[in-house]
Amino acid sequence: MPTILIADDEATIVELVRVTLEDERIQVIEALDGATALALAETHRPDLVLLDACPT
């Protein structure tokens, strides 16, 4: 199963991405800030990373 990391401080964006991708059987890892995104990337080794340009 492919893994995608989404990092965005907007909860609505994270929710939209999660619902959309989980319907396609893609594992979604969520981060609300950049530091968490880096930590989760280390742990989960995502195939693709979606990054908000300016998360808080």
Closest by Cα among 10, 11, 30, 9 to 21 = 30
CB of 16 to another protein, least distance (A): 7
CB of 30 to another protein, least distance (A): 13
CB of 36 to another protein, least distance (A): 9
Q: 19-25, long-range: CB within 8 Å, 24+ apart, which pairs? A: 25/1
Instruction: Tally Cβ neighbours within 10 Å of residue 44.
Output: 13
Which residues form the interface with another protein (CB under 8 A)?
A: 2, 4, 7-8, 13, 16-17, 19-21, 24-26, 33-35, 37-38, 41, 45-55
